[in-house]
């Protein structure tokens, strides 16, 4: 991709903004892809005023649901039509393998179609009254909502927020990560081409302080954030001071648990995919693997063999299974956490070194890494590494397993591998996690609510809950 200066989209206008421009880097090559205009406080205020104007003229929120749905369907169609270009953009900007980018772009298009359907069929509720009057619970848009997204899966995570927020009738200000802003700008283009009224969608680019300005703006009525717990808690505190609702997805340290009766090959493959796909840069990555003691050694050996056999290479190559991490700063952080674990006595079974081969020298690559001889209380087992790094730990029985699996500040996801149906159900209900996979991992459904327990977040995205979070309820009581 040729280096160029890109504008962001604010209140229906493309602008370079009045803030500091910044470069976006291809993590596979270290080369600059483009310079992107940076927003300032003035630009944020302009976007909010544009959203309020669109809201007050009712060009969007007062549209009949089928009319809003028509535009959302069109956005899904346009994403499909431009799927290969969008996939290449995400892969160059983020380092995700082209195979995964294509899958995520397809899912993004489906997300807009799903919420277009929800938009057309979402019903108000007639509630029981205690007199001669009609009692109705009506769902209405919040107004102006702020969406703040991370760098690990921009195409999918941004669609998961944009589609329901727009379907609900809101005007939206999206602030993507400065590391991976290109897909968000493409969504702005597609939304404009699909017929979103002026001011309904703004995409504001810049550093983290731009997100803070959106959170603190008094006219922004709600915040949806995906990212780390430190930033999430800060956002919750700022929003709380204004009694502003938030939805937070803040990551995890998910346990993937293998019982002795599990299908051995399926479990090895599923555990490996659960941590190494996306180079481990997934909030649901199964980064703590608990293996029943009787099969611990053979299972770990098989997992290491699988990890060492993964093809690391250019993300655009069809055969690549392990691309670079999304940026060099994060690659170095992952390596520091691995090094710290080894200094504290952990055993490195494979990986754990920044590749020195010439073909990897210019990129933010890191190999599949398996670590043993650790306790569940160690930092490598408690802190989210967010890379292709997995710890393996033995367990004796269900009680021992649940004590360890639930011993985490996080509670986003988990996996169970067993052929005992009763055990699977029993353990699933005792896990402190928002998602439990049984004999699979990382399977997703746009119609199934997603979110975390404990410090993994607040609220649920996807499904009908995923649109309700962007709405507020009004009671109407009507006497004859």
The interaxial angle of helices 208-216 and 41-56, nearest 10 deg, is 40
- Taking residue 383's Cβ as centre, other Cβ atoms within 10 Å add up to 15
Q: Is 461 a catalytic residue?
A: yes
Q: Which of 178, 186, 321, 461 does the annotation list as catalytic? A: 461
Cα–Cα distance, 171 to 228 (Å, whole number): 25
Strands 5-6 and 8-10: unpaired
Q: Judge contact between 167 and 467, C-beta under 8 A.
A: yes
Q: Which of 111, 158, 161, 442 does the annotation list as catalytic? A: 161
Q: Is 249 a catalytic residue?
A: yes
Phi and psi, residue 78, nearest 5°: -65, -35
The residues with which 292 forms a beta bridge, in sequence order, are 395
Cα–Cα distance, 195 to 136 (Å, whole number): 32
- Give 429: exposed, middle or buried? Use CB within 10 Å, 0-12, 13-18, 19+: exposed
Q: Judge contact between 33 and 25, C-beta under 8 A.
A: yes
Q: Which of 100, 249, 384, 455 does the annotation list as catalytic? A: 249
Q: Which of 283, 442, 455, 462 does the annotation list as catalytic? A: 283
> Sheet harboring 133-141: ordered strands across?
125-127, 133-141, 471-479
Cα–Cα distance, 480 to 478 (Å, whole number): 7
Catalytic site positions:
161, 249, 283, 461
């Amino acid at each position: 991709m040729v280096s160029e200066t890109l504008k962001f989209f604010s209140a229906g206008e493309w602008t370079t903004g009045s803030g500091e421009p910044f470069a976006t880097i291809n993590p596979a090559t270290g080369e600059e892809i483009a310079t992107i205009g940076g927003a300032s406080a003035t630009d944020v205020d302009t976007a909010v005023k544009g959203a309020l104007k669109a809201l007050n003229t009712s060009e969007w929120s007062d549209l009949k649901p089928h009319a809003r749905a028509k535009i959302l369907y069109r956005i899904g169609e346009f994403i499909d039509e431009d799927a290969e270009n969008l996939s290449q953009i995400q892969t160059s900007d983020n380092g995700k393998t082209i195979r995964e980018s294509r899958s995520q772009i397809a899912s993004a298009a489906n997300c807009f179609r799903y919420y277009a359907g929800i938009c057309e069929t979402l019903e108000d509720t007639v509630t029981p009254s205690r007199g001669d009057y009609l009692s109705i619970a009506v769902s209405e848009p919040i107004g102006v909502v702020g969406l703040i997204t991370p760098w690990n899966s921009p195409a999918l995570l941004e669609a998961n927020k944009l589609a329901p927020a727009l379907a609900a009738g809101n005007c939206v200000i999206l602030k993507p990560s400065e590391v991976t802003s290109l897909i968000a700008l493409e969504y702005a283009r597609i939304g404009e081409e699909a017929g979103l009224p002026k001011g309904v969608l703004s995409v504001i680019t810049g550093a983290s302080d731009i997100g803070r300005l959106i959170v603190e703006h008094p006219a922004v009525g709600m915040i949806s954030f995906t990212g780390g717990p430190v930033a999430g808690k800060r956002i919750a505190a700022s929003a709380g001071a204004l009694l502003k609702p938030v939805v937070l997805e803040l990551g995890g340290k998910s346990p993937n648990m293998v019982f002795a009766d599990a299908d051995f090959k399926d479990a090895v493959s599923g555990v490996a995919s659960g941590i190494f796909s996306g180079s481990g840069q997934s909030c649901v990555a199964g980064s703590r693997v608990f293996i029943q003691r009787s099969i611990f050694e053979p299972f770990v050996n098989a997992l290491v063999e699988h990890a060492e056999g993964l093809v690391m290479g250019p993300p655009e190559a069809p055969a690549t299974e392990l691309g670079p991490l999304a940026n060099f700063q994060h690659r170095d952080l992952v390596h520091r956490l691995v090094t710290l674990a080894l200094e504290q006595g952990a055993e490195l079974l494979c990986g754990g070194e920044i590749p020195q081969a010439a073909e990897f020298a210019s990129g933010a690559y890191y190999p599949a890494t398996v670590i043993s001889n650790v306790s569940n209380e160690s930092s490598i087992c408690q802190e989210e590494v967010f890379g292709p790094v997995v710890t393996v730990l033995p367990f004796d029985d269900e009680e021992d397993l649940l004590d360890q699996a639930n011993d985490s500040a996080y509670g986003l996801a988990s996996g169970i591998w067993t052929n005992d149906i009763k055990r699977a159900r029993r353990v699933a209900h005792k896990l402190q996690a928002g998602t439990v996979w049984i004999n699979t991992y990382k399977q997703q459904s746009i119609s199934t609510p997603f979110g975390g327990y404990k410090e993994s977040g607040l609220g649920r995205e996807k499904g009908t809950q995923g649109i309700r979070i962007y709405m507020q309820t009004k009671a109407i009581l009507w006497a004859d």
